[in-house]
Structure 1
Amino acid sequence: MTPDFPLRFPVVALVTSAGGLDALTRVLAPLPADFPAAVLVAQHLDPARTSHLTAILAARTALRVGEAADGDVLVAGAALVVPAGRHLLVTSDARIGLLDTGDLPPARPSADLLLATLAVTCGPRALAVVLTGKGTDAQTGIRAIAHCGGTVFAQDEGTSAHFGMPGAAIGTGLVHAVLPLSGIAAAILEHVARHA
């Protein structure tokens, strides 16, 4: 498949850690099959354990959901899930690049690496959504998103199972909207409708 590059549609990156399965489900479930944006999903996972995240999410949304593979093309209406033990990069030709994580931090997969490469390749068409999670992963990545003209949403403290990641994002002063989990899907749909 030939990538639609330069991208003519938005790319939404959902990044999360602890408590992320429920948050991802509630964000992805309302998105329609003809959603005019590509979606990337990164949740911190233990690479030593088998992950069923892709299959679970595929059963809970109308989007086409698959595990990201090296060289995949970003496609509107499809969600690619970063596999455990890999980092995902968005390359200059709107394809996916996967890197082995090794045995040491950063968090795996790294939200910072994903968001930084998304920022420089997609610019104002990038939307980063920081959901529940421990730690501060994504803080650097959203700085890149904002620097390159993209948009950042973060889940609010009241609906986050763990407020580390969203709180760190909000602390940068670069988040465009702080939203309860119940309002994130609608905000994504509205944002994408404006930018598609």
Structure 2
Amino acid sequence: MPHRAPSTEIAAPPEGLRLIAIGASAGGVEALGLLLCALPATCRASVVVVLHLAPGRSSRLPLLYAARCLLPIREAQDKEPLQPGVVYFAAPDYHLQIEPQRSFSLSLEAPVYFSRPSIDVLLETAASTYRREMLAIILTGASADGARGLAKVRQLGGAAWVQDPATASSAAMPAAALRLAGADRVLDIWQLAASLALLTN
């Protein structure tokens, strides 16, 4: 990821957010570190993250970020209700879905774009449940995963932010999302972090 001074342009987060769903792949560990550590302790939305991981590997991501972030971070569990002000990571080798009663379910259905968990699966199920109460963010990555899900988020009234492909470690995923779904805002990673820092409820 290129290093430069933080940007000054930021976007006000939509009002009434109950869910922030973030998808990332190649280059996503560093990008997520900036975003998650920018979330204020006053954030009352649930935050759900899908980061593509190799199958068969245990995830140490919650441990990696927990010491630097103000919100509690943990791996999402099957049938667990989403709680406000908590960051959840998808478990490796399971699709993470959000049920209509706002709880998680894990699935072993076929990979999407060779990935399980899939960003599309998370976003499509979340959009059907949260509609206008959600913000979806697509970050750096090397596939088109997330584009179809982002289109559904926007179709059902949710907000969509996409990392500027020109500033991403891997431009393919944000570029695919913009081609298929468009976005409400296209921001570099520093702008995205500064924008999330504005969350107050």
Q: Is the shorter-chain TM-score for this pair beyond 0.5, marking a shared fold?
A: yes
Residue equivalent to 2:83:
75
Aligned residues: 186
Code of the residue aligned with 2:61 in structure 1: it is L
Residue equivalent to 2:29:
21
The change in CA–CA distance for 1:103 and 1:181 in structure 2 (over 3 A counts) is closer
**CA–CA separation in structure 2 for the residues paired with 1:103 and 1:171:** 22
**CA–CA separation in structure 1 for the residues paired with 2:95 and 2:114:** 10
Residue equivalent to 2:4:
none
1:167 and 2:172 correspond: no
CA RMSD of aligned residues (A): 1.7
Calculate percent identity across the aligned residue pairs: 33
**CA–CA separation in structure 1 for the residues paired with 2:181 and 2:57:** 36
Residue equivalent to 2:39:
31
**CA–CA separation in structure 1 for the residues paired with 2:163 and 2:125:** 22
1:148 and 2:156 correspond: yes
> Is the 1:17–1:134 Cα contact (8 Å) retained in structure 2?
yes
1:47 and 2:55 correspond: yes
Secondary structure (helix, strand or coil) at the match of 1:117 reads helix
Unaligned runs of 5+ in 1: 1-7
Residue equivalent to 2:96:
88
Unaligned runs of 5+ in 2: 1-15
Code of the residue aligned with 1:139 in structure 2: it is A
Residue equivalent to 2:124:
116
Q: With the length of structure 2 as denominator, give the TM-score of the two structures.
A: 0.86
The change in CA–CA distance for 1:103 and 1:59 in structure 2 (over 3 A counts) is same
The change in CA–CA distance for 1:9 and 1:42 in structure 2 (over 3 A counts) is same
Secondary structure (helix, strand or coil) at the match of 1:133 reads coil
**CA–CA separation in structure 1 for the residues paired with 2:157 and 2:17:** 15
Code of the residue aligned with 2:85 in structure 1: it is G
> Is the 2:165–2:172 Cα contact (8 Å) retained in structure 1?
no
Deviations 1:34-84 (A, max 9, x none): 312110010001122232112112122111100000011111110010010
Deviation at 1:127, TM superposition (A): 0.5
Secondary structure (helix, strand or coil) at the match of 2:182 reads coil
> Is the 1:101–1:109 Cα contact (8 Å) retained in structure 2?
no
> Is the 2:112–2:145 Cα contact (8 Å) retained in structure 1?
no
**CA–CA separation in structure 2 for the residues paired with 1:189 and 1:115:** 22
Q: With the length of structure 1 as denominator, give the TM-score of the two structures.
A: 0.88
The change in CA–CA distance for 1:70 and 1:136 in structure 2 (over 3 A counts) is same
